[in-house]
Amino acid sequence: MLEGADGCGKSSQARALCSWLDERGRAPLHVREPGSTPVGEALRRLLLAPETGDLEPISEALLFFAARAELVRNVIAPAVTAGRVVIAERSYLSTVVYQGFAGDGSVGADWLFDLARQVHGDFLPDRIFVLDVDAEVGANRRSRRVADRIETRGDEFQKRVRDGFRAAAQQDPRVELIDANGSLEEVRATLFAQVQERIG
């Protein structure tokens, strides 16, 4: 799974990683959260549209988890069972960070970790690579496109997100931080080396 604050470059790296795995005959499955199922894509539109306005923090967290449950049970579990490598953009860690660590404190990160275990069952991600970028680098990459509902929460929120990912890396043994401040090629080289070490 690829994770990180907005503008960290995970979509670009996920695409590159899938091509690289494809060339090596691994036929990876590329998915994104929220999304990659009919219900997940509908929830994505709802969750990211600025017109949706404010949601109760717990409703927002549960809607991200509803999209995730559809994806894990209907898409990821069958693919992994069939022996495929799954590359996902985002994971339960985004909910722990965005709605937990960076939220208003009303949704506990521990409770979200427990919910992740319930939703994933035997299909928790093997590895979560967090592309870690400095605030200015992420903001600069982000500024090239229109902000979604969650991106409009401002710089202080983005700082809590970044700190949240770093804190999660200390607490969750599945998480690995990758310095993503460099060029696309530099980040790619570091990421691919880590993946190669994991899957051979």
Nearest-10 Cα torsion for 166, 18, 34, 7: 50
The one among 11, 19, 52, 106 contacting ligand Z5A by CB under 6 A: 11
The one among 21, 29, 71, 150 contacting ligand Z5A by CB under 6 A: 150
Stretch that binds ligand Z5A, among 1-9, 74-82, 113-121, 162-170 (CB under 6 A): 1-9
Nearer to ligand Z5A, 29 or 115 (CB): 115
Stretch that binds ligand Z5A, among 19-27, 94-102, 119-127, 168-176 (CB under 6 A): 94-102
Is position 9 an interface residue for ligand Z5A (rule: CB under 6 A)? yes
Nearer to ligand Z5A, 25 or 180 (CB): 180
Closest CA to 191 of 83, 94, 77, 87: 87
Nearer to ligand Z5A, 27 or 189 (CB): 189
CB 33 within 8 A of CB 88: yes
Is position 183 an interface residue for ligand Z5A (rule: CB under 6 A)? yes
Number of neighbours of residue 145 by Cβ within 10 angstroms = 10
The one among 12, 74, 190, 194 contacting ligand Z5A by CB under 6 A: 12
Subset of residues 127 to 146 that bind ligand Z5A, contact rule: CB under 6 A: 141, 144
Is position 98 an interface residue for ligand Z5A (rule: CB under 6 A)? yes
Give the Cα separation of 135 and 161 in Å (integer). Answer: 10
Nearer to ligand Z5A, 85 or 89 (CB): 89
Q: How far is the CB of 85 from ligand Z5A (least distance, A)?
A: 19
Is position 40 an interface residue for ligand Z5A (rule: CB under 6 A)? no
CB 6 within 8 A of CB 138: yes
Number of neighbours of residue 169 by Cβ within 10 angstroms = 18
Alpha carbon of residue 42 to chain centroid: 18
Residues with Cβ within 8 Å of 132's Cβ and at least 6 positions away in sequence, in order, are: 4, 8, 162, 165, 166, 177, 178, 179, 180, 181
